[in-house]
Amino acid sequence: MTTSILRLGLCLLALGLLCSATVSASVITYSDLTDFVNDTSATLHPFAAGLFLDVGESLISSGVTYTPISPAFRIGTSAHPNMGFTPQLGLSGPEDMDVKFASAFDFGFSIFQPTDESLCGAVCVEDTFTVTLFNGSSSVGSFTFNPADDVAEFHGYVSTVAFNRAAIRDLTGNIDNEFFGTFFTGESPSVPGTVPEPASMVLAATGLGGGLLRRIRGRARRS
C-alpha cells in the first residue's frame, strides 16, 4: 500500500514539473482585426509617439510592458499610405521583444513590413516571425508567420489557457525595419471551456504529490 502511494506521489510531482514547462491549450488565430474585436473583450493599449528606448529599457503604457530583446526601439509615425495604424513601434535591430501584461486570454497586434528602403533603414528582407505565449515560464502556444509586403497585417490569438507574456522573435535576424502597433489584450475568457491558469494546475499537482510523500515519511518515522 505504501509503495502504491509513493508511486502516486512521485507521479503527481512529475506532473507538476511537466506542467511548469508546457501547458496544453487550444488557441484560435485571427487575421481580421474587426472579427477579433467583435469576438473578444480585448482592449486596445495605446502608446505615445516620439519615444526612444535603449537596450535594457522598457516602455510601460496602459498596463502593458514592452521590452526590446535586441537593440533599442523607437515609437514614431510613418507617412506610408498603407501603414494602416499609428503610432508605430520599430526596433533598430532584429525585431525581438517581449510584451508583458496582466493575465489574459486574448492577445493581438498589427505589423507592417515595408519594401521601401527609406523605411527599412537597410536592404529590405522578407522576415519570418514567431509569437510564443507564456504564463510565467510555461509555454501556452507558439505560432510562425511571414508578414505580407507593404500592407498592415493583424495577428490575434484567443486561448483557452490564460497567459501573461508574448515573446515576438524575428527568426531571420535582419536589421531591416518592421513596424508594430494596435496591441490588444483581453482578460476575460472568450472561448467556452477555458481552464485555470497553468500556475494553478502546477500548484495543485505538486501540492497533492508533496502531501502524499509527507504522509509516507510520517508513517515511516512511526514504524
For cell 507593404, the residue is 150
Identify the CATH number of the domain in which residue 97 sits.
2.60.120.260
Bridge partners (DSSP) listed for residue 165: 100, 134
Distance from C-alpha of 15 to C-alpha of 209, rounded to nearest angstrom: 9
Distance from C-alpha of 191 to C-alpha of 208, rounded to nearest angstrom: 29
| DSSP letter assigned to residue 108 | E
Domain count, the chain: 2
Q: Do 223 and 136 reside in the same domain of the chain?
A: no
Task: Tell me which residue of 100, 147, 102 sits closest to 120, measured CA to CA.
Answer: 147
Q: Do 12 and 58 reside in the same domain of the chain?
A: no
Q: Do 76 and 159 reside in the same domain of the chain?
A: yes
Calculate the CA 112 to chain-centre distance: 19
Three-class DSSP category at 20: helix
Find the helix packing angle between 2-21 and 198-222, rounded to 10°. 150
Q: What values do phi and psi take at 121, rounded to 5? A: 75, 5
Q: Do 190 and 201 reside in the same domain of the chain?
A: no
Q: Do 50 and 8 reside in the same domain of the chain?
A: no
Q: Do 46 and 69 reside in the same domain of the chain?
A: yes
Residue 23 has what pLDDT?
60
Exposed / middle / buried, residue 34 (Cβ in 10 Å: 0-12, 13-18, 19+): exposed
Q: Do 211 and 140 reside in the same domain of the chain?
A: no
Exposed / middle / buried, residue 208 (Cβ in 10 Å: 0-12, 13-18, 19+): middle
Task: Tell me which residue of 124, 128, 187, 189 sits closest to 150, measured CA to CA.
Answer: 124
| Angle at CA of residue 130, ends 82 and 138, nearest 5° | 135
Q: Domain span at residue 41?
A: 26-194
Q: Do 77 and 148 reside in the same domain of the chain?
A: yes
Q: Do 83 and 189 reside in the same domain of the chain?
A: yes
Contact 132, 142 (CB under 8 A): yes
Q: Do 13 and 92 reside in the same domain of the chain?
A: no
Contact 164, 102 (CB under 8 A): yes
Distance from C-alpha of 183 to C-alpha of 88, rounded to nearest angstrom: 10
Each residue's pLDDT, cut to its tens digit, for the chain (223 residues) gives 444 443 444 344 344 444 445 566 899 999 999 999 999 999 999 887 766 666 667 888 888 999 888 766 677 776 677 888 888 888 777 888 999 999 999 999 999 988 888 888 788 888 999 999 999 999 999 999 999 999 999 999 999 999 999 999 999 888 888 889 999 999 988 775 555 444 444 434 344 444 433 443 444 444 4
Q: Do 64 and 114 reside in the same domain of the chain?
A: yes
| Angle at CA of residue 156, ends 128 and 104, nearest 5° | 120
Q: Do 216 and 179 reside in the same domain of the chain?
A: no
